[in-house]
Structure 1
Amino acid sequence: MRGWTRSWRTVRNGLLALAATVLLLPSPSRAQSDEPGCRPEMASLGLPVHRANLTLAALGKDEVRITFVGHATFLIETPAGVKIATDYNDYVRPQVTPDVATMNKAHSTHYSRNPDPGIKQVLPGWDPTGRGAAKHDVTMADLRVRNVPTNIRSYSGSTDFDGNSIFVFEIGELCIAHLGHLHHPLEPGHLRALGRVDVVLFPVDGSYTLDQEGMLEVLKSLQARVMIPMHFFGGSTLSGFLARSQDNWPIERRDQPVITVTKAGLPARPTMIVLPGN
């Protein structure tokens, strides 16, 4: 009995030491939420996404590659080799330095305080001077990128007019729109400014951005042939949105966060394509 007591004490002491060690470890979510400039959205984000290196073939002259980096950040690559990062921020970034970085104002996970100095064009979706809407129309090799301003809710509940942008990427015959941190339905003026959209990248969280029913109506108005969800904070939110969507469009789930699209290879009818991420 005495030997058993000594063994139990040894095990107990080991467990207590392990528990003390765990308690002393920094909490990722707490450490992240203490970063200057962070917003409540960060509490749901967790750790930055780190993608495994993928060996990718060179693009053909009509191909565009889209990689879901995480949250609201995509890496878009053109046939001429131009690289674009959407909603570029200080937490979730592609593994390469983009040539063009677009940013939005709603949360610190959508803009950067310290953009990589190697980026050739940094395009904020709002006017930092506060004089009105941002206006971008930039051409680089085979890429044209422009913006359509939208409003956002401020933390006081008021409207920050022209506080964010939908960014439109025209590459060859393809038109890709990233809806950013969209907070409201699209009006006829927005749709006219956007024009035809072949691929749309859109948020589905339903709380920080537009509610899910409203986002469904946005997608119906755009009629893009490829729809890729983002900004969903975990599987349950995404599953809820897909359940709302399944009667409207076919849904395809991919195993890799990368998709290559061409104008000729677009689906015959609008299709939702889900890439792994958060």
Structure 2
Amino acid sequence: MLHRLSLALCVLSGLAAPAVAEDARPPVSQCQLVAQKLPAVTFAAYRPAEDAATRLQAALDEEVTIRFLGHSTFQIETPGGISIATDFNGWLRTAQLPDVVTMNKAHSSHYTLMPDPGIATVLHGWNDERPGEKAEHRIVVGDAYIRNVPTDIRSWGGAFEANGNSIFIFEVAGLCIGHLGHLHHELTDAHFAEIGRLDVVMVPVDGGLTMGAVSMSETIKRLRSALILPMHRRGPPIETFLSMFDPSFDWKIADTATVNVSVRSLPRKPLILVLNGV
């Protein structure tokens, strides 16, 4: 808990800023602090005049709501009222139009080229202008900082397409929330360093349409997130994925499609939470 308190204190350095253009200087990621080395590391500073203790207490109690809509689409609601939809395809949605949508182009069920024009921010996991080059997103929307870590993707023909997928990371309310997208290969040390800490991770568990169950489970074990949310289940029963983990991980089948999470409520032991609908 002391570790989480320290991390929450770090995040109070300014993520609740107004939206900025992506070509502006991005804020410092609080989820990467544990992965950075000198001289890149940014140190937290205690400023009593800012009443840091009061702000820390408030951040600990702020809840983020995560709702599973189907396939690999989640809707994330921030304490500041920002709505984010992952792997948005246009047909898995709620009545509330999201403020931000992220997409990956593995299949039509992961993206749409014709999103509702009322959606203010649309983030592709691939580079539209320079195919094969990395997409780069570093943007603040309300109280959320959103960034991506590109990975390669396997095409229908079996060949790999460079930088065709992105792991999107949402930093909000002191939490680091990651969506692995259509992950097709094992991550390198460089990927893990760029990702940094993930408190919550959304992971595909199809057993091979993305990455094999063994490789995917090893990725989750290395990330060691407090809350693991399976998604993209096709073919194998969820028990196949759960069987890859020893008693150092807990698991639970939820009776609802929604979970509320805060820095304070993160499980002490990694929990695989299978939301209703998975």
Q: Report the TM-score, using the length of structure 2 for normalisation.
A: 0.75
Q: Which secondary structure does the structure 2 equivalent of 1:244 belong to?
A: coil
Distance in 2 of aligned mates of 1:94 and 1:104 = 19
Distance in 2 of aligned mates of 1:166 and 1:151 = 11
Q: Which secondary structure does the structure 2 equivalent of 1:220 belong to?
A: helix
Matches within 5 A, 1:36-51: none
Give, as a single letter, the amino acid of the residue that structure 1 aligns with 2:79: P
Shift of 1:141: 1.2
Partner of 2:171 in structure 1? 170
Shift of 1:142: 0.5
Q: Which secondary structure does the structure 2 equivalent of 1:190 belong to?
A: helix
Distance in 1 of aligned mates of 2:233 and 2:113 = 24
Shift of 1:140: 1.0
Shift of 1:247: 4.0
Partner of 2:142 in structure 1? 141
Distance in 2 of aligned mates of 1:74 and 1:95 = 14
Q: CA RMSD in A?
A: 1.7
* Structure 1 consecutive aligned stretches of length 4 or more whose deviation exceeds 6 Å: none
Partner of 2:254 in structure 1? 254
Partner of 1:233 in structure 2? 234
Q: Is the 8 A contact 1:204 1:237 kept in 2?
A: no
Shift of 1:172: 2.1
Partner of 2:15 in structure 1? none
Look at both structures and tell me which one has the larger radius of gyration over its CA atoms. 1
Shift of 1:116: 1.0
Q: Is the 8 A contact 2:70 2:277 kept in 1?
A: yes
1:117-169 superposed Cα distances (whole Å, 9 cap, x missing partner): 11110000000123411000110111000000000111222110000100000
Partner of 1:76 in structure 2? 76
Partner of 1:92 in structure 2? 92
Partner of 2:207 in structure 1? 206
Distance in 1 of aligned mates of 2:112 and 2:125 = 12
Give, as a single letter, the amino acid of the residue that structure 2 aligns with 1:237: P
Distance in 2 of aligned mates of 1:163 and 1:237 = 28
Instruction: Report the more deviating stretch, 241-250 or 69-78.
Output: 241-250
Distance in 2 of aligned mates of 1:272 and 1:202 = 10
Give, as a single letter, the amino acid of the residue that structure 2 aligns with 1:222: L
Shift of 1:61: 5.9
1:195 aligned onto 2:196 = yes
Matches within 5 A, 1:78-157: 78-131=78-131, 132-157=133-158
Q: Is the 8 A contact 1:61 1:79 kept in 2?
A: no
1:63-121 superposed Cα distances (whole Å, 9 cap, x missing partner): 10000000000000000000000000033223321000000010000001220111110
Distance in 2 of aligned mates of 1:123 and 1:230 = 20
% identical equivalent positions: 45
Distance in 2 of aligned mates of 1:242 and 1:158 = 29
Structure 1: gaps of 5 or more residues: 1-59
Shift of 1:184: 0.7
The structure with the largest helix share of the pair is 1
Q: Report the TM-score, using the length of structure 1 for normalisation.
A: 0.75
1:229-250 superposed Cα distances (whole Å, 9 cap, x missing partner): 000036x521211222354411
Distance in 2 of aligned mates of 1:89 and 1:211 = 24
Q: Which secondary structure does the structure 2 equivalent of 1:277 belong to?
A: coil
Distance in 2 of aligned mates of 1:244 and 1:61 = 33
Q: Is the 8 A contact 1:90 1:113 kept in 2?
A: no
Shift of 1:260: 0.3
Give, as a single letter, the amino acid of the residue that structure 2 aligns with 1:170: E
1:23-54 superposed Cα distances (whole Å, 9 cap, x missing partner): xxxxxxxxxxxxxxxxxxxxxxxxxxxxxxxx
Q: Which secondary structure does the structure 2 equivalent of 1:160 belong to?
A: strand
Partner of 1:276 in structure 2? 276
